Structures are given as C-alpha cells and as structure tokens.
Amino acid sequence: MRHVIALDVGGTGMKGALVGADGALLYERRRATGRERGADAVVDAILDFAAELRGAGEERFGEGAAAAGAAVPGIVDSERGLAVYAANLGWDRVPLRDLLSRRLGGLPVALGHDVRTGGLAEGRIGAGRGADRFLFVALGTGIAGAIGIDGAIEPGAHGSAGEIGHMVVRPGGPPCDCGQRGCLERLASAAAVSRAWAAASGDPDADAAGCAEAVAAGDPRAAEVWQAAVDALADGLVAALTLIDPRTLIVGGGLAEAGQTLFAPLRAAVERRVTFQGLPDIVPAALGDTAGCLGAGLLAWDLLAGSAAPGPAAEGVRPAGAVPSPAPRPGGSTSTPTTPRR
C-alpha cells in the first residue's frame, strides 16, 4: 500500500505515523524526544524514529514509504528545510530535512511548522473542511495560529504569519518573552489563565483546567478570571478577523477542551465586538492530537504531487485532485503547541 511517513515533534514527545494516499492513519507510534540529553540526542531520536517507521511500512505493506513529512516547533524555514530555532529542544539551524532524507535513503522530505501543519490538517480535512479561508488558533501554553487560503497555509514573507499570540491587545500590559507588553498569549493562553487563577484562588497549583471546572460550578472568582481571558482573546480575534476575513475560525489547543465553557462566552464576546466585519463560524478543532501527524502526511503527499512552489512557498499547497479528503476523525485531546517563546 502506498504511504508516506509523518512525524509530529513536540517539546517532550513525538508522534509518528504512516499515512495513506486517502489521508488515513495506517500505523501510529509515540516516542520521547530525549531533550534532557541535549539537542544532538533530540535529532538522533527523530532520525531513529523515522527509520523505525520506514521499517514498519516495509514489513506491513511490502514496500517503503514514498516520502516523509515532519512538523517541528519553533522557527522553521520550510523552503531550506531548516529547524532554525527551538528553545525547548535546544537546537539552532538544524538541517533536518536533509538529515531525514539521508537517513531514509534519499526519500523526498517536507518540513513544516507544528502549528501551521496542524492548522493545515484542520483546515483541509478537519473542522474547516470546505472553507476557502480559515484561521486556526491553538490555545495552549502559548497561543499561535495558522492562516488558511484555498487549501494552503500562508507562511508570510518571513515565516511568521499567524503569530496571533504576539498581537498586543493590552498596551502596557504584562511583559512578554517576545519583548512586547500586553501580548495576547500573556492574557488568554492556558498558562495565563493558570497564573491568574492561582493568584485568585490562593492555590499555587491551580491551573486552567481547574479554573474552567470552577466556572462551570459557578465560582465567581473563577468566572472573573475566565471572562478577562475571554475578553482579551475576543479582542485579538476581532483584530485578526478584520485583517484576514476568514469564513471559519477554528479554535484548538488545551484550553479549547473546556468546550462550551469557552465557546459560548467567546462567541458572544466576538459577536459584541464586530461591527462591519463578517462573523465567521467559530468551531472547535476536530482532529485532536492527530492533527500534526495528519498535516505532516499532507505535506509529504503534496511534495510528491509536485506542488511546492519556489521561494517562500505556502505550506500544504494542494493541486486539484492531489490528495482526496477523508472524513475527519473524532476528536480526542488536543495537544498543546510548543514554540520557542512558550
């Protein structure tokens, strides 16, 4: 059976899969990154995992993979195949695409940013399926996003399109690791809600999940913390809607697991703020923690289809008829995205 190798590398763990031409996950495995042993050990673990997946495909299907795709955190130069920087993994300008290709016997390899790759899967075969323009926002330890246009993810001229977490929504607010003050992720990420709820509740171990539970139980202190985060998030999203005008807004990440405790007040807050802007459908992500692997698989199939454009190409360009779109898998827990500043 024709298939590709897909890797989704996180801060502490990796997910790997063999993905069929119809987008189906044919085989899945998980491994630790081994980041406690240093950057070189992380790269070795990725290469070993990829080789293991290739062997699994040969054993199960009687043929090797046709290509590979990898989604990694941090700053990524997809055009040159470089994992430029990731503080949580300790690497700096790693030529990961070439290293993977050599380890896999010369297979073509596509490299993408983890959140944008997950957004590609959500937009093409998940919650945004059928939308010509969508915005994917992942609410985890930090906040990141992906802009989808006609089945492709827009990377921007410098590779940072969609970094909505570093949009300033409260000028003069709390300092952010990026050097600004009042960034969205300092006010509305899971980490921000955890900090605020720990302070309000007096429990240093309190977290965002506990805050959501307290909101659902009617705790007024939790409701105040939660609404402040929702209001900041709505301000950031409306600014993004004004610029991008998406048809669908997909919200994923750990904070989105609060379900209607998040989505009901968020939809209301966004609706209160829009004036002339078109109000998009605001929906939860559908693919859970398989989005990264599915997106990496889509990158690999797109590469085989010869769709990669020269220059700073969009991630996941889909030529007509290149890869059929399967029905989205049911949800599951959405992984928290990891980026160098989160």
Q: How far apart are CA 76 and CA 78, in angstroms?
A: 6
CA angle in degrees (0–180, nearest 5) for 38-42-46: 170
User: What residue spans define the domains of the chain?
Assistant: 3-114+299-304, 127-284
DSSP assigned state of 25: E
Q: Which CATH superfamily is domain 127-284 in?
A: ATPase, nucleotide binding domain (3.30.420.40)
β-strands 68-72, 91-94 pairing: unpaired
Cα-flanking dihedrals φ and ψ of residue 142, to 5°?
-125, -165
Q: What is the pTM of this model?
A: 0.83
Q: How far apart are CA 68 and CA 341, in angstroms?
A: 27
Q: How far apart are CA 213 and CA 74, in angstroms?
A: 31
Residues whose CB is less than 8 angstroms from the CB of residue 6 and which lie 6 or more positions away in sequence, other chains included: 16, 17, 18, 19, 68, 69, 70, 293, 294, 296, 297, 300
Token pair in block for residue 115: 């959140």
Please tell me the number of Cα atoms within 13 Å of 244 on its side-chain side.
29
Residue 20: predicted pLDDT: 94
Bridge partners, 342 (sequence order) = none
pLDDT, tens digit only, all 342 positions of the chain: 899 999 999 888 999 999 999 888 999 999 998 888 988 999 999 999 999 999 999 999 999 999 999 999 888 888 899 998 887 788 889 999 999 999 999 999 999 999 999 999 999 999 999 899 999 999 988 999 999 998 889 888 877 788 999 999 999 999 998 899 999 999 999 999 999 999 999 999 999 999 999 999 999 999 999 999 999 999 999 999 999 999 999 999 999 999 999 999 999 999 999 999 999 999 999 998 899 999 999 999 999 998 443 333 456 644 333 433 333 333 333 333 333 333
The count of other CB atoms within 10 Å of the CB of residue 267 is 18
Q: How far apart are CA 78 and CA 20, in angstroms?
A: 23
Residue 22: predicted pLDDT: 86
Architecture of the structural domain at 3-114+299-304: 2-Layer Sandwich (3.30)
Sheet hosting strand 91-94, strand order edge to edge: 75-77, 82-86, 91-94
